[in-house]
Structure 1
């Protein structure tokens, strides 16, 4: 008579019967439930954590790229010595032919657009309230091309009125109590040059547009001003401070550094979004790896409960093993029966963990709202984390990693007690029965 193939139907039937057996029948239902719950919670925590980390990184990168240039081209200051007085003075790295340079940069392969910008730091006041801010002097068309700034769902006012005033972040508006139509006083220490030195420049502008970039630090410090007005205000007549560059693949922004430097010539410098945020992103990647390792240990601990349960099951089912062996069941069949007992627990726990993890990730906003309600609103501080809410992003690769890890650990820890059951001597098992 031919031996039945591995993992035959009767092996699944016996394993499932043992797995559901009550303690009075020699089963270990309590240990099975402990193993099942442990694996479920471990997989759920792993998937939820990976989803939140992926969502946080995606939201952070989106806010960076959605409100900032992918790369910035500028010139370093030069030092000039007066031959008559032998005094050395600094010439700022201004860009005189900024329109021509922007056109040349925009013509590079892969560059979507390039725009000149005037930048300066100021103090803003409204009544007895004040704050510091950074002013970006841009054209009307350039402001409308910045995704996070021109978003009509989060902004207030009409962006088409930009040439009639200034655009401010919602954080500045809240701190100074500003609304559309209010006048904001802007103070710069580098104002008009007189015979008695440089005097501060104070100007008042109408607030015509209030934006929310999704980043706390941007919303509370950034102001956009029409290009011509910014040139006049910061004494940049006929010049720009830098050229902002946008490319079609921001993740590979470093590929454009050399072409930009070759095009711009001497004293040119390039500062990419990865230079400003790269260290933080690398820290996130390291933290992701560490969190995966820590949560993997939790899944391993939960899987070890399967080993404990199977060892007790093998001990309680010694008589059954002896009878099955005397009936002709091979060692391989016994091994597979008890392997399936542990595998069932691992598979069921993994499936349940995936379902709970996905549900958690999809409802993380409601969960955080509940946590905020309990904690009094301090569970998520945007001033510390930069973004306003806790995002989650389910990636197939993260789910596959969690499932693969859980199943692999469950199957591996099951082999050892299953081998012990397969090697049990049927004579010894039935001697005292």
Structure 2
């Protein structure tokens, strides 16, 4: 006795064939090609927007944290606050060499350097600018990544701290010593109109102590190096002075304001807090997360909100699939009745329309991924075009803190966008597909 023929399994070839014919059918033949294209384009644009936003978000955080870690210490070590005879709070370190040596012995610490800090007024040819002066040894300055290797520079870092000379405006006069060379940020140079080789004045109100009181200290230094790290608040205010010269300039003879520490894993800075406190003795520490944690938390909150908003945008785009399938089911009711009459099960009908909706979602998602990745890769020329069309000034570094719009394409973000879009596409197709599967073939063919 011959065995009965096997029934085809789920997602058989004929189900894909029927779905493909429905998707490419013209509207005059009962298809919904226009609605299919609208669904496809909507999903593609939504996925593109999601990937573009996620890449800019990742790039912004990477650039923001990178400039913090590349141009600032990971940890600043201070002395315990004390009140001097004048009623002023002091945190200076007298044994800064011993503290720095002890901190270098902590596992994971890559560098420790003593510095002197202060705020002064800079002046050049009648132009003034408030700046932050950091006194640091030349060998320590060369180990600051974004200062040694900035995104733009002028002059030579090797000339920092070297003695310069002044040639008097007198014929035959010999050059005289002009003090050590200094390094300044590009924003400071732009504000003052200074360049490499120019001599700027630094004016401190808490200057030289004389029998008649404290008088402002005015010193002139030659600019030997200009750097741009890409973060506006650093480029606009930062000036580096040799350590010994800064001690004299700020009346810090024999002391330092702090010891700046760099570690091998700055993203895991919390694990270094206790070892550094134990090694430094009676000191206080201030990590980069303490100083910039509010910015990072604000970024994280904004990231979460934007992801939710764009996820809703993807959901709205996938809802076009529902509209298209409902129209398709209505137009193909006669075909559904015939297919059911010749033996197709409810499951086969359901899978046919699930394939129709899922195909639109898959195609739109892939197109959106390609467009989103292309946007992230070529964001610079795209943004330059937008800036040109808008007449310039679209990006204000003084507000954004970095000099350009960044984008960082990460595999996790692309996978997240794909998973969200595909998941929603698969889910929303179930409802119109079930409606088609449950259609009564007698009712569908009643008036045919």
| TM-score scaled by length of structure 1 | 0.96
Determine the structure 1 residue equivalent to 2:348. 333
In 2: Cα distance, 1:236 partner to 1:416 partner:
76
Q: Which residue of 1 aligns with 2:364?
A: 349
What is the alpha-carbon distance in structure 1 between the residues aligned to residue 241 and residue 132 of structure 2? Answer: 10
**Structure 1: which 5+ residue stretches go unaligned?**
82-87
Q: CA deviation at 1:89?
A: 3.4
Q: 2:75 aligns with which of 68, 71, 77?
A: 71
Task: Name the residue aligned to 1:322.
Answer: 337
1:409-432 per-residue CA deviation (whole Å, 9 max, x = no partner) reads 111110001011111111111111
- C-alpha RMSD over aligned residues: 1.2
Residue of structure 2 equivalent to 1:422: 437
Alignment-derived partner of residue 85 in structure 1: none
- Aligned partner of residue 148 in structure 1, secondary structure: helix
Distance 2:420 2:84 in 1: 64
CA-CA distance at 1:152 after TM superposition? 6.4
Correspondence list, 1:147-186, <5 A: 147-151=145-149, 154-164=152-162, 165-186=181-202
Deviation by residue 1:177-221 (Cα, 9 ceiling, x = unmatched) = 111111110001111112221111000001111111111111111
Q: Which of 193, 200, 203 is 2:219 aligned to?
A: 203
Partner of residue 44 from structure 1, selected from 42, 45, 48 = 48
Q: Does 1:214 align with 2:222?
A: no
CA shift for structure 1 position 347 = 0.5
1:25 lines up with 2:29 in the alignment: yes
- The corresponding residue for 1:136 is 134
Segments of structure 2 that go 5 or more residues without pairing to the other structure are 163-180
Conserved? CA contact 1:158–1:209, under 8 Å: yes
Higher mean displacement: 397-406 or 93-102: 93-102
Q: Residue deviations 1:262-306, cap 9 Å, x none? A: 23333x211111111111111111111111110111111111111
Change (3 A) 1:91 1:372: closer
Equivalences for residues 34-433 of structure 1 within 5 A: 34-79=38-83, 89-90=87-88, 92-151=90-149, 154-164=152-162, 165-266=181-282, 268-433=283-448
- How far apart in 1 are the matches of 2:240 and 2:194? 15
SS in 2 for 1:237: coil
C-alpha spacing 1:269/1:37, structure 2 compared with 1 (3 Å)? same
Paired residue total: 426
CA distance in 2 between counterparts of 1:94 and 1:305 reads 66
Give the deviation of 1:255 after TM superposition. Answer: 1.3
Q: CA deviation at 1:91?
A: 5.8
Deviation digits for residues 48-94 of structure 1 (CA, Å, limit 9, x no counterpart): 0100111011011111111000010002431367xxxxxx7346221
Q: SS state of the match for residue 358, structure 1?
A: helix
SS of 2:111's partner is strand
Structure 1 position 234, deviation (Å)? 0.6
Paired residues of 1:77 and 1:90 also in contact (CA < 8 A): no
